[in-house]
Amino acid sequence: MEKLNGLLRVRVIRGVGLAVRDLRSSDPYVIVKMGKQKLRTRVVKRNLNPEWKESLTLSVSDHILPIRIEVFDKDTFSRDDPMGYAEFDIHPFIEAVEMKANGVPCNEIHKKLVPNRQNCYAEESCIKCVEGKIIQDLCLRLRNVECGEVEIQLEWINIKSV
């Protein structure tokens, strides 16, 4: 059994310009996966720019895996339609958490991550310390779909403070 390091709160904020999968709209929801963990948001009916504003919490162990965000269109009588996915590595985020634990000052940007062909970032993402918490805002471009982005925020939660 792996040692648990902490909890990662994934706040699924909203989708932007998601793909149409029904007649004129979609009924999107998000699945967040890391290793064997799989969490899901609620469905937002008939909306290509849904606002979820939901917090999902993953446990993070020594073995750090990438996170995969998958968007689906909820269907009643058939299989849910895929609306794209995005993956990202949390190693830079975990490094910032470790730096904070080692006394690196708060209220400043620890690292900037820029979009490139290898990642799903739609825009620059900053890992920062805000009021003693490590936070990262991400805007992720969905892959394997004609359009769409998902905005999320990561926040580290120490086990001791839970």
pLDDT higher than 60, residue 161: no
Q: What is the pLDDT of residues 83-112, one digit of tens each?
A: 999 999 999 999 888 887 677 677 778 899
- pLDDT for position 121: 97
Quote the CA–CA distance of 13 and 1 in Å, as a whole number. Answer: 33
Domain boundaries, the chain: 4-89+135-161
Tell whether the model's pLDDT for residue 162 goes beyond 70. Answer: no
Whether pTM > 0.85 for this model: the answer is: yes
Pairing of strands 51-61, 109-113: unpaired
3-state secondary structure 54-68: EEEEEEEECCCCCEE
Residue 147 CB-density burial (10 A; 0-12 exposed, 13-18 middle, 19+ buried): middle
Sorting pLDDT into bands at 50, 70 and 90, what band is 82? very high
- What is the Cα–Cα distance from 36 to 34, expressed in whole angstroms? 6
Query: Has residue 1 got a pLDDT over 50?
Result: no
Q: What is the CATH number of domain 4-89+135-161?
A: 2.60.40.150
